[in-house]
Amino acid sequence: MASSFEDVVKELNLRYPQFAPDAYEFMRAGLDYASEHYGKGEKTTHLTAEQLYAGACSYALSEYGPLAFKVLSFWGINSNVDFGKVVYNLIEVGVFGKQKGDKQEEFEKLPPLQAVLNAPYNGELDDTEDEFEKEFEDDF
């Protein structure tokens, strides 16, 4: 019998207690949000780390507004590196998939999570973040 998502999250929470169960719920919803965006209304079968990150950040902003970083931080997602850890924890248990060449380290190269989530409210985007945000300019 296949485990439910809730059972998988409980298992992950035991293995990785630094992340709250809500972090995994958020990531699953963020993946759906990003998938629909990049699939132009239809879910895509695979997203790059950058697409997932941009989509999930956009989702966080739409759900939590200026509190997005604080909410994610409360769940243990404090950085783009933590973001990648949650994604790869879900890959580890088979909830998310990956393709050959996908690496957790890809998340390390992305703009800092706090900067991305606070950018719409402080007006301070550097060139790197500005390029990154163009993917979701309607959402930010």
CA-based angle 47:77:6, to the nearest 5?
Answer: 75
Cα–Cα distance between 85 and 40 in angstroms, integer? 27
Cα–Cα distance between 97 and 31 in angstroms, integer? 11
User: Which pLDDT band, with edges at 50, 70 and 90, does 137 fall under?
Assistant: low
User: Which pLDDT band, with edges at 50, 70 and 90, does 131 fall under?
Assistant: very low
Cα–Cα distance between 17 and 111 in angstroms, integer? 25
User: Which pLDDT band, with edges at 50, 70 and 90, does 37 fall under?
Assistant: confident
CA-based angle 104:18:37, to the nearest 5?
Answer: 50
Is residue 132 scored above 60 in pLDDT?
Answer: no
Q: Token digits for 17?
A: 């207690």
Give pLDDT tens digits for 104-129. Answer: 999 999 999 999 999 988 865 444 44
pLDDT at 38: 78
pLDDT at 128: 42
pLDDT at 122: 82
Per the CB < 8 A criterion, the answer to whether 26 and 75 are in contact is yes
The domain segmentation of the chain, as residue ranges, is: 5-136
Give the 3-state secondary structure of residue 116. Answer: helix
Give pLDDT tens digits for 43-92. Answer: 556 889 999 999 999 999 999 999 999 999 999 999 999 999 999 999 99
Q: H or E element: which one contains 80?
A: helix 80-92
Give the 3-state secondary structure of residue 58. Answer: helix
pLDDT at 129: 45
**Within 10 Å of residue 19's Cβ, how many Cβ atoms?**
21
CA count, 13 A, side-chain hemisphere, 47:
26
